[in-house]
Amino acid sequence: MTIAIGSDEAGFALKERLKSFLQDRGFDVEDYGVHDTRPVLYPDIAIAVAEGIAAGRHARGILVCGTGIGMAIAANKVPGVRAAVCHDPYSAQRARKSNDAQVMALGARVVGEELARTLVATWLESEFEGGGSLPKVERIRAYEASRWSGEPADSGRRAADGREGREDRKSREGRESREGGGESNAADCQ
């Protein structure tokens, strides 16, 4: 498995340690930078890693900045990529098992090296389980596809089991009320 890794200057030292940790565990690692502590625009690194994931050059990606938040936001702008900030083992596990996140973002100012190693190991050992999370991940994929194709993701906006979501029902009821259809309920106005 090839893993892409990248950081900004705030995450440089942790990225270097994690790169060694991964290589010691037998992973091939492609380093997208930075290669020193000079300031950079972290979105450039995050997007490069995410594009490598989206293109299939890497199975997983790890991004490190001060908090992990900015890197995750930037990586999530690349279609087909799901990046998650992970600062505890449960989140690292669920990022993979429930959300099929291919990119993990860590905050070097939030987690220490030992915890970061534990998070990376937990995340790499976890696989997407599907199950009840599958329709949710599929909804994200459909939305992304619609944003890039111009087609609506799902004009019915229904849950996987066919039920309307709360907001969908409220929207329909409001529209019917304005159009003179449907029944009014005083409780809906509270």
Model pLDDT, residue 150: 60
CATH of 2-129 given 3.90.580.10, 3.40.250.10, 3.40.50.300, 3.40.1400.10: 3.40.1400.10
Domain limits of the chain?
2-129, 132-181
Q: What is the mean pLDDT of the chain?
A: 82
Q: Looking up tokens 């993990």, which residue turns up?
A: 104
Q: Retrieve residue 78's tokens.
A: 């690349």
Which member of 65, 85, 101, 104 is catalytic? 65
Of the candidates 16, 7, 19, which has an alpha carbon nearest to the alpha carbon of residue 44?
Answer: 7
pLDDT at 160: 43
Q: What is the tally of helices (H) and strands (E) in the chain?
A: 7, 5
Name residues of the chain where pLDDT drops below 70: 149-190
Query: What residues contact residue 143 under an 8 Å CB cut-off, 6+ apart?
Result: 153
Phi, psi of 7 (to 5 degrees): -155, 170
Q: What is the pLDDT of residue 135?
A: 78
User: In the prediction, which pLDDT does 138 show?
Assistant: 82
Q: The pTM is what?
A: 0.75
Q: Measured between alpha carbons, how far is 153 from 97 in angstroms, rounded to an integer?
A: 24
Give whole-number Cα distances, 114 to 8, 28, 88, 96, 120, in Å. Answer: 20, 21, 12, 20, 10
Is there a catalytic annotation at residue 65? Answer: yes
Say what percent of the chain tops pLDDT 90.
62
Angle ∠(123,54,118) on CA atoms, nearest 5: 15
For 59-115, give the secondary structure using H, E and C: CEEEEEECCCHHHHHHHCCCCCCCEEECCCHHHHHHHHHCCCCCEEEEECCCCCHHH
